[in-house]
Amino acid sequence: MTKDLVGHYIGGRSVVEGDRRGPVFNPALGEEVRQVAFADGDTVGAAVDAAEAAQAGWGEESLARRQRVMFAYRDLLQRNSDRIVAAVGEEHGKVAGDAAGEFARGVEVVEFACSLPQVLKGQFSESVSRGVDAYTLRFPLGVVAGITPFNFPAMVPLWMAPIALAAGNGFVLKPSEKVPSAAVLLAELFVEAGGPPGLFNVVQGDQEAVAEILGHPKIKAVSFVGSTAVARSIYERGTQAGKRVQALGGAKNHMVVLPDADPELVSDSAVAAAFGSSGERCMAISVMVIVGEQGEKHLDAIAAKMEGVRVGSALDPRAEMGPLITAAHRERVGSLVAEAEAKGANILVDGRKHAMAGGPGFFFGPTLIDGVTVEMEAYRQEIFGPVLLVMRARDLGEAIELVNRNPYANGAAIFTESGGAARRFVRTIDSGMVGVNVPIPVPVAYHSFGGFKNSLFGDLHVHGEEGFRFYTRAKAVTQRWGGEGSAATLHFVTNN
Ligand code: NAD
């Protein structure tokens, strides 16, 4: 039987070109459900040409018209949420409530993008010198591209596309080949909302498509989200090719628990943030650092709550946690748990033994490991699975030092009732996003998302005002009208 094929979306229509293909799995079944076309240089070139042609008119459109399209896009997305949530659930495996949550956070970025006339306002300084005014205007870059990971098939593309488009650019999206369908829906709905066909294109594929994007001279900027090794390489290759690049990488997020923290909030937060989406979130809590003498109260409560986590497929309305993305990834998570165990860690809850872990679906049960040390690979690497590591620190200073020594720096959270301790943490922790009694501090759309160190290569974070700055360039104009103070001089011009 011929399997469905997910194609590209170029110039406002579905396109299938070339003969390279990849499999798309339903991870809950452990079965290939369709295939996806892989773009080559010609396909990427066609997408860039379409984006360039559409951008020429769009970049000249009034702010009002662009804003209306963004409002219409927001409404259409809402009306089609079920289709997108279903595509995410089938190809990624996350449960329906979680998929709906990521979609809602993505739509928030579209809502923020609707404020484009406000955000794109220039600056004006009157009379910087006699008869001279100065002002700054922001212009779109032209054609920009986004390369996205498997773990947020809708939200991460929506971190990029709405801002890039609202700022007046054409956009080429290369989603993860593991979850190709949601991206096509997002692009189709933009055209249905009145966006010019060709402005928002999707090219499916693997490294070859990425190389074509990085090598294409008409692509002026690249936003990337994925693992650290790839993010670093995209940043280096993209900037060498003269492009503006923001490349968000992996993470190892710590949750520091002080003795005065609310125990109920601690255990609820740890379970939700470590095991939601099977730990396949760049803001998942991976390490809990217990500060001082607190006995085993948190671990007992967390282990008890883990028993109640219902593991199942996206089609099970009561399921809270789905499978991992591939069989190979399940193997990798299992081997990191085995390595920690072999090095003396204490496996308090073992996801390898979960009832669902032996089936054809790529399930792995929630796992809790105490006695973890910084030498263990489970600590050194991003696990990206439902595994919570537990470490100890004598005091807050030691906990902060531990977190700050880690090469990743996406998010970090503190749980405490002390304002002074929280303030010290916020000021000294070396992470891009910080939570105070909030385990997953993903910024709202009108702030910007991004980490430090190995979690982000580049300068500007995504969405919020930094997103608009990333996708525009500023022109500073100095003007004189009316002949006032016009005497020319060979000296370097000063203001008076
Ligand atoms: P990945 O790096 O394997 O893939 C990301 C994208 O890059 C995909 O589109 C993929 O096709 C492409 N790609 C993969 N290997 C490549 C290569 N060698 N050369 C060029 N392109 C390549 O990441 P993933 O497994 O899809 O996603 C999970 C990772 O993404 C985790 O590390 C997670 O922490 C990270 N992530 C980070 C953030 C963040 O905001 N910092 C958000 C979500 C996910």
> If one looks up domain 4-249+455-476 in CATH, what number appears?
3.40.605.10
Give all strands (DSSP E) within 296-361, no chain letters: 346-349
Ligand 1 atom closest to 325 (CA): 25
pLDDT of residue 3: 67
347: pLDDT strictly greater than 50: yes
Among protein residues, the one whose CA lies closest to atom 23 of ligand 1: 226
Q: Please, which residues have CB within 8 angstroms of residue 329's CB and are 6 or more apart in sequence?
A: 362, 384, 385
How far is the centre of ligand 1, averaged over its atoms, from the C-alpha of 287 (Å)? 21
Whether residue 167 contacts residue 140, with contact meaning beta carbons closer than 8 Å, is answered with: yes
In the chain, what percentage of residues exceed pLDDT 70? 99
Angle at 189 between CA 95 and CA 176, to 5 degrees: 50
Strands 244-248 and 456-457: antiparallel
Among protein residues, the one whose CA lies closest to atom 36 of ligand 1: 226
Ligand 1 atom closest to 226 (CA): 30
How far is the centre of ligand 1, averaged over its atoms, from the C-alpha of 175 (Å)? 10
Which of 102, 148, 176 to probe ligand 1 with, by most ligand atoms within 8 A of CB?
176
Q: Could you tell me how far CA 72 lies from the centroid of its own chain?
A: 24
Whether residue 174 contacts residue 72, with contact meaning beta carbons closer than 8 Å, is answered with: no
Give the 3-state secondary structure percentages of the chain, helix then strand then coil, rounded to 5.
Answer: 40, 25, 35
How far is the centre of ligand 1, averaged over its atoms, from the C-alpha of 250 (Å)? 8
**Residue 481 pLDDT grade (very low, low, confident, very high; cuts 50, 70, 90):** confident
* Given 282, 288, 324, 403, the catalytic residue: 282
- Mean of the pLDDT values across residues 52-67? 97
* 461, amino acid identity: H
Residue 282: active-site member:
yes
**Residue 44 pLDDT grade (very low, low, confident, very high; cuts 50, 70, 90):** very high
pLDDT of residue 496: 73
Q: Which two tokens stand for residue 338?
A: 């085995």
How far is the centre of ligand 1, averaged over its atoms, from the C-alpha of 272 (Å)? 23
- Residue that the structure tokens 């997408």 belong to: 47
Strands 31-37 and 21-26: antiparallel
Domains of the chain: which residue ranges?
4-249+455-476, 253-436
How far is the centre of ligand 1, averaged over its atoms, from the C-alpha of 227 (Å)? 4
- Our CA dihedral for 308, 271, 180, 69, rounded to 10 degrees, sits at 110
Please check whether the two domains, 4-249+455-476 and 253-436, share a CATH topology: no
Q: Could you tell me how far CA 216 lies from the centroid of its own chain?
A: 24
Which of 105, 148, 230 to probe ligand 1 with, by most ligand atoms within 8 A of CB?
230
pLDDT of residue 212: 98
pLDDT of residue 1: 43
C-alpha atoms less than 13 angstroms from C-alpha of 260 in its C-beta half-sphere: 9
Residues having CB within 6 Å of any atom of ligand 1 = 147-152, 156, 174, 176-177, 206-207, 210, 225-227, 230, 248-251, 282, 382, 384, 410, 451, 455
pLDDT of residue 358: 85
**Residue 485 pLDDT grade (very low, low, confident, very high; cuts 50, 70, 90):** low
- 369-402 core/surface letters (b: 16 or more CB in 10 A; e: else): bbbbeeebebbebbbbbbbbbbbbbeebeebbeb
Distance of CA 25 to CAs 91, 177, 311, Å? 6, 10, 18
How far is the centre of ligand 1, averaged over its atoms, from the C-alpha of 305 (Å)? 31
Ligand 1 atom closest to 382 (CA): 32
Q: Which two tokens stand for residue 46?
A: 């066609």
Distance of alpha carbon 442 from alpha carbon 410, whole angstroms: 10
C-alpha atoms less than 13 angstroms from C-alpha of 194 in its C-beta half-sphere: 14
Angle at 244 between CA 183 and CA 37, to 5 degrees: 30
In the chain, what percentage of residues exceed pLDDT 90? 95
Using DSSP, state whether 368 is helix, strand or coil: strand
Ligand 1 atom closest to 149 (CA): 26
Q: Please, which residues have CB within 8 angstroms of residue 18's CB and are 6 or more apart in sequence?
A: 37, 38, 39, 40, 42, 43
Distance of alpha carbon 450 from alpha carbon 439, whole angstroms: 16
How far is the centre of ligand 1, averaged over its atoms, from the C-alpha of 314 (Å)? 23
How far is the centre of ligand 1, averaged over its atoms, from the C-alpha of 260 (Å)? 38
**Residue 487 pLDDT grade (very low, low, confident, very high; cuts 50, 70, 90):** low
**pLDDT tens-digit map of 293-330:** 988 899 999 999 999 999 999 999 999 999 999 999 99
DSSP β-bridge partners for residue 285: 253
Among protein residues, the one whose CA lies closest to atom 20 of ligand 1: 207
DSSP string computed for 187-199? HHHHHHTTPPTTS
Ligand 1 atom closest to 251 (CA): 34
* 38, amino acid identity: F
User: Quick check: pTM over 0.95?
Assistant: yes
Q: Which two tokens stand for residue 114?
A: 């609707």
DSSP string computed for 418-487? -HHHHHHHHHH---SEEEES-SS-PPPTTS-B--EETTEESSPPBSHHHHHHHTEEEEEEEEE-TTTT--
Tell me 364's DSSP state: -
Which of 94, 151, 333, 447 to probe ligand 1 with, by most ligand atoms within 8 A of CB?
151
Whether residue 20 contacts residue 40, with contact meaning beta carbons closer than 8 Å, is answered with: yes
Among protein residues, the one whose CA lies closest to atom 16 of ligand 1: 207
How far is the centre of ligand 1, averaged over its atoms, from the C-alpha of 147 (Å)? 8
- Mean of the pLDDT values across residues 261-278? 98
Q: Which two tokens stand for residue 409?
A: 């720096």
**pLDDT tens-digit map of 79-130:** 999 999 999 999 999 999 999 999 999 999 999 999 999 999 999 999 999 9
- Measuring CA to CA, which residue among 179, 181, 174 is closest to residue 200? 174
Ligand 1 atom closest to 234 (CA): 20
Which of 150, 174, 232 to probe ligand 1 with, by most ligand atoms within 8 A of CB?
150
Among protein residues, the one whose CA lies closest to atom 30 of ligand 1: 226
pLDDT of residue 493: 78
**pLDDT tens-digit map of 428-471:** 999 999 999 999 999 999 999 999 999 999 999 999 999 999 99
pLDDT of residue 2: 53
At the second CATH level, the architecture of 253-436 is 3-Layer(aba) Sandwich (3.40)
Mean pLDDT of the chain: 96
